[in-house]
Structure 1
């Protein structure tokens, strides 16, 4: 028995508010624009509200790019740094757009908040990676930065999940 497409949460027809397939080019472009705005806004919080925990997401993006910058010598020049950092933010936005489409393919139907949630989640994943790979390794007895980065990253992960799906826990059967 084939399920009715209007009630199937993974059907392409009901996956987006506009009725487009989750991985349609228009959906990906719109999600990419929303994700780019959210990622850039999280970076701008570093300068707008430099107090923890509000400035931590922007700080995480700078530290993550510094790790990449050490591997690519062309990014050392001032113009190379600016272009590389903009490219880094764009890559995060593309990853978030694909993640939003993936969430829509699995039943998320909350409009553009899915892309915003995916962008917040991507920054949270970057934060968790930095907390485990950098802050934990170089803590040297001072665990306050690790706890601040870890707690902010976990909050970003949960906030992104809530924005994207609108609830916590399992989907109803």
Structure 2
């Protein structure tokens, strides 16, 4: 996200903290698609992603007044999202089919947005969870490394390592050398 978008989000956060409902609606309209897109990548499931994002918004609304620095909103929001996604995955793990039980009827559906998009989505899906989350926040959401470290709760060096490894793995997978 460009600098002006970040400043606008900070302004919206300040207005929300002062009780402006319209600012909350505007913040939600700007951030809901980003959170949903990331949740889909984190969980690999549309329903789990929607549930996680809904719970994320409940957490954001409940805690936004306590956020001391509006510039930290992106990392803070993605931290909540990551936790809610993990909660949803754990809660539904018992009901999910094992990989050897997948059939065409319950296989993940990738909307037809082109062969490249499908290949990228599949490659992201093959990354280990920690790398997929870091790569999604970096490549898709354009968060800074320190924001990713804050959102994932790991040291900056670990974030760098995960992104480096994910980039290498994605390149290999997309070049067909798997």
TM-score by length of 2: 0.37
Structure 1 or 2: more helix by fraction: 2
